Amino acid sequence: MVRQVAHLLAPWIHLGALYVLFHGHTSPGGGFQAGVLLGAGTVLERLVAGSSARGMPDPGRALRLGAVGVFLYVLLGAFGIFWGRAFLDYAGLPLAMEEAFRRYWGILGIEIGICLAVMAVIASIFSSLAWDRSSSS
Amino acid sequence: MLPVALLLLLCACAVGVLLLSDLVGAIFLLSCYSFFLALLWTFWGAADVAFTEAVVGAGASTVFFLLALFQMSPVARTRKLRFRHGAAFLSLGALGLLLFLGVDFPFFGAAGSPAHLHVSPAYILRAMSQMKTPNLVTAILADYRGFDTLIETAVIFTAGVACLLILEGKRGPSAR
């Protein structure tokens, strides 16, 4: 029963998380909340898929994805320095559009970075904890 | 009326968490606490905070607590309750002090309160023209206070690395 409900729920959690991520400009939520939802949804899916922890994401490998997220944030912020602006002023992004829209897309970019970092950390901790249980029993 | 009822439920949950000797039950009560807190934030118009509270407080941290608890032996899943007079006196004193100092606070939503006079008028006026973002919380978090959010993301990542070292480290390199 729990397995069936979780199986039905997981894709909708992912869909909701993507909505939260990409509509952070106009509605509540953003990268952080979307990251938690994505991480939890992924682990929920894996937890119910098999009884063993074999399908769980490797905690160390998941954290590498998190490092990519943090790096994406720093990279997008660093563009401003080379185009004569302040660090983290996304108007420095080399995009052919108005200043305000460059900031708009910069915000979306760093939200994706935050989302990756949070998702990776949540999935990493989840799978560390869940893996331990299956090995000890 | 509704916030008062929610606050009472919140207090009931908090007391229940303290008094329950069954730790699994206490974890679920803690989840209820976060849920009522999220409803309160929604009522007061802090939708972003409510969202985070619901997702992290009621969702992720509950599962973390449960997974951590299931690692322990069944004996460790209940606890003996001990009443400590010194601790009770300290926390009641702190509560009294906070209530006493809270009298001087501006009323909820007061236009003349310091929080509404410093930088927030500038944010409200400029967010739309500077970055086309109607959600001010996103505008402030991601752009005006981008440096804070960058460091926060780094802190979360560091916490993840620390958890990995603690949880995987005790197992030794050959376990996986």
Per-residue pLDDT of A44-64, as tens digits, reads 787 776 655 556 778 888 899
Q: How far is A92 from chain B (nearest CA, A)?
A: 12
Picking from B55, B164, B175, the nearest residue to A60 by CB comes out as B164
Q: Which two tokens stand for residue B58?
A: 């009621």
Asked if B47 is an interface residue toward chain A (Cβ–Cβ < 8 A), one would say yes
Give the range of the structural domain holding residue A89, as residue numbers without chain letter: 2-136
Round to whole Å and give the CA distance between A46 and B146. 34
Picking from B64, B141, B157, the nearest residue to A30 by CB comes out as B141
DSSP bridge partners of B78: B22
Nearest Cα neighbor of A111 from B71, B143, B123, B39 is B143
Q: Do A25 and B135 touch (CB under 8 A)?
A: yes
Q: How far is B110 from chain A (nearest CA, A)?
A: 23
**CB A56, CB B164: distance < 8 Å:** no
Mutate to test the interface with B, among A9, A14, A23, A25 (most CBs of B within 10 A): A25
Tokens 């997008």 correspond to A76
Question: Which of the four pLDDT bands, split at 50, 70 and 90, describes residue A129?
Answer: confident
| B75 vs B44, higher pLDDT | B44
pLDDT digits (tens, 9 = 90+) for A73-105: 999 999 888 888 888 888 888 888 888 889 999
Q: How far is A40 from chain B (nearest CA, A)?
A: 7
Question: Which of the four pLDDT bands, split at 50, 70 and 90, describes residue A137?
Answer: very low
Q: Do B156 and A126 touch (CB under 8 A)?
A: no
- Overall average pLDDT of the B159-171 stretch: 85
Q: Which residue of B has its CA nearest to A27?
A: B135
Which span out of A5-14, A53-62, B108-117 was modeled with the highest average pLDDT? A5-14
**CB A20, CB A30: distance < 8 Å:** yes
Q: Do B132 and A135 touch (CB under 8 A)?
A: no
Q: Does residue B12 have a pLDDT over 70?
A: yes
pLDDT of residue A54: 57
Q: Which residue of B has its CA nearest to A30?
A: B138
- Overall average pLDDT of the B8-12 stretch: 94
Q: Do A77 and B175 touch (CB under 8 A)?
A: no
- Overall average pLDDT of the B139-162 stretch: 92
Count Cβ neighbours within 10 Å for each residue of B128-157 and write b for 16 or more, e otherwise.
eebbbbebebbbbbbbbebeebbebbeebb
**CB A102, CB A41: distance < 8 Å:** no
Q: How far is B70 from chain A (nearest CA, A)?
A: 7
pLDDT of residue B168: 80
**CB A135, CB A55: distance < 8 Å:** no
Q: Which residue of A has its CA nearest to B151?
A: A70
Count of the separate structural domains present in chain A: 1
